[in-house]
A = this chain, B = another copy of it.
Amino acid sequence: MINDTPFSPLVRCLPIEARQPSLEDNRADADRLKQAVAREMGKQGAQSGELRIPYPVLTDVALRFRAAGFRGGAVVNMLDPCLEIVDFLPSVPDRLPALALDLGTTHLEAALLDLQSGDTLATGQIENRQIELGTDILTRIHFAGPPDIEAKQDNREQGLARLQESVISSINELAVRLAAMAGIATGEIRALSVSGNTAMVHFFLKATPFHLCREPYIPLVNSPDPCHAHELRLCIAPMAPVWIMPGIGSYFGGDLVSGILATGLDTAAETAMLIDVGTNAEVVLGNREWLIACAGAAGPALEGGVARMGVKAGPGAVEHVDIDRDHWRLSYRTIDGAPAVGICGSGLIDLAAELYLSRVIDFRGKFRPAAKPESQRHEQFLKRHLVADGSGYAFIVVPAAEAADGIPVTLSQADMDALMRSKAAMYAILTTLVAQVGVEFAGLNRVYVAGAFGGHIDPGHAITLGMIPDLPPATYEPVGNSSLRGAGLVLLSGEGRERSREIRRKITYLELNVNQEFMLRFSGARFIPHADPALFPSVPVLQAEGQ
């Protein structure tokens, strides 16, 4: 799915063999090196641009070039149109490691790539330490404090400074780990690419995020220019370029641009869709001619944020649920087979769809305690699972005896209501987007589903709920962490970097906050599968019976 792009890494190590200086050839060391690099780049057909040796490394680079006998490997940051010679090695090393990073709100995930071969040397993830300062983005934005243009750069908004320090230290720890796995020193990591949502990129850059969450939702920056690792106190090579995936707006960040890059949505002839579901649902529709995107609050129900027993995907999370309606038996699976601690997004969707198919909930998502049992088994099933819970009812997914710490995993009516709002928002977003450009869902042969969620979700169950359109389940292709893959792509390919800028230029962002149709569509989507069941021909219509 990653397009075959010409190999043109962000940093190169070029083999250099310069003439020895003499009275007849008295070029200065630095100028000699530049000319040799320019010649080698010409030979390799590399991007052209003006070669510079940044002041902080001028003397080091020139002395190393001389010490190596005017031959070896020149490390060049390909920051077109200014190319920087940042180091000189006695020879071209076998590997030129660089770090691709998905800067997530809760986790950072990284891949250590070799810019010489394109190989992956190590991968890993780590919790984002910013969680200590605020579990969600909004809390962190408030923690960052208001802008203070009078403060000195170094003292600006202590909160924001702490958010930056916190994420940088997480990145450094992850870099140390991956370097150890690959058997290299962190100083050998020659580049970093970063893909994250707009707020995370602001924290990373210590750029005031104050206006991100205030109408009209204006970021401080969407396309940050590359900087050097030392400027951010990263522990990798000090002059390593830090390349940040450009974003589109406050609610549509570089992580999504990465997704477009990784899926090749922007280069395909056929129109396709990319869905990334988290606290926000972010959706892109398009092809090589046009791209349209929107983002909306899908509610945190799917990220373990609302359901009382909701948890993030992790060991012990119930990720799949099945109800055998012949024998009225519920089976479930937890991640890593660990004792159940809660239910994650994909488990929640499975459960809700099965509860609907089992008529435990009605088409409004409400528990039906008064429904007449079909059989004795059915009656026992209802008795075992559906219990009175304060003012309403709750469904016991995992009984206390099987669950971790003896705490049963349950789903309350409130949890179910939150899920209904989430699924309705999701479907409303998708329909608003396709309506905007006059495309039919049926015309889509491919819908990419990004994120951890995309890998676990059962499209059939999501269709049953009316969360996603009623297309053949194979249409839905999980793409894993496409934010990380996009970050890897820009490290390896100049065309990838160019495409990321091009995506920014050609994408149209549809603001749902000012979209009147969206609320209408949202209302229609608050039923299972939908107020208009004709939209979901594959889903059995159950609402007539037993009401």
A349 to B130, CA, bound (A): 76
Q: B218–A28 contact, CB under 8 A? A: yes
A153 to B21, CA, bound (A): 25
Contact A206 B29, CB 8 Å, known A64-B149, A81-B81, A513-B23: no
CB of A511 within 8 Å of the partner chain: yes
Q: State the oligomeric state as a number of copies.
A: 2
From A51-59, A516-524, A528-536, A539-547, the one touching the partner chain is A51-59
Among residues of B, the one whose C-beta sits closest to the C-beta of A224 is B58
> Could you say which residues of chain B place their CB within 8 Å of the CB of A207?
58-59, 62
Nearest CB of B to A238, in Å: 9
Q: B231–A56 contact, CB under 8 A? A: yes
**Across chains A and B, which 6 residue pairs bring their CB atoms closest together, nearest first?**
A55-B227, A30-B221, A28-B222, A28-B219, A52-B225, A63-B149
Partner of A205, one of B55, B217, B514: B55
Partner of A225, one of B55, B219, B225, B250: B55
A167 to B399, CA, bound (A): 78
CB of A390 within 8 Å of the partner chain: no
Q: B81–A28 contact, CB under 8 A? A: no
18 of the cross-chain contacts (CB-CB < 8 Å) are A21-B216, A22-B216, A23-B511, A24-B511, A27-B222, A28-B219, A28-B222, A29-B218, A30-B220, A31-B221, A50-B82, A54-B225, A55-B224, A58-B225, A59-B208, A60-B149, A63-B149, A66-B147
Partner of A53, one of B26, B53, B64, B225: B225
Nearest CB of B to A501, in Å: 11
CB of A223 within 8 Å of the partner chain: yes
CB of A249 within 8 Å of the partner chain: yes
Nearest CB of B to A191, in Å: 15
CB of A405 within 8 Å of the partner chain: no
Beyond A54-B227, A59-B206, 14 additional pairs, beta carbon < 8 A: A23-B513, A26-B216, A26-B218, A26-B249, A30-B220, A31-B222, A31-B223, A50-B82, A55-B225, A55-B228, A56-B153, A62-B220, A66-B147, A67-B149
CB of A7 within 8 Å of the partner chain: no
CB of A49 within 8 Å of the partner chain: yes
Nearest CB of B to A507, in Å: 12
Contact A153 B59, CB 8 Å, known A30-B224, A52-B225, A223-B31: yes
CB of A393 within 8 Å of the partner chain: no
Among residues of B, the one whose C-beta sits closest to the C-beta of A206 is B59
Nearest CB of B to A16, in Å: 17
Q: A344-381 vs B: 1/0 string, CB under 8 Å?
A: 00000000000000000000000000000000000000
A27 to B216, CA, bound (A): 10
> Could you say which residues of chain B place their CB within 8 Å of the CB of A52?
225
CB of A143 within 8 Å of the partner chain: no
A194-222 contacts to B (CB < 8 Å): 205-208, 211, 215-222
Q: B59–A220 contact, CB under 8 A? A: yes
CB of A156 within 8 Å of the partner chain: yes
> Could you say which residues of chain B place their CB within 8 Å of the CB of A328?
none
CB of A509 within 8 Å of the partner chain: yes
Among residues of B, the one whose C-beta sits closest to the C-beta of A79 is B82
Nearest CB of B to A240, in Å: 13
A35-81 contacts to B (CB < 8 Å): 49-50, 52-60, 62-64, 66-67, 81
Partner of A49, one of B27, B81, B509: B81
Among residues of B, the one whose C-beta sits closest to the C-beta of A249 is B26
> Could you say which residues of chain B place their CB within 8 Å of the CB of A23?
215-217, 511, 513-514
A223 to B206, CA, bound (A): 34
Contact A217 B26, CB 8 Å, known A81-B81, A222-B31: yes
Partner of A82, one of B82, B218, B250: B82
A55 to B27, CA, bound (A): 33
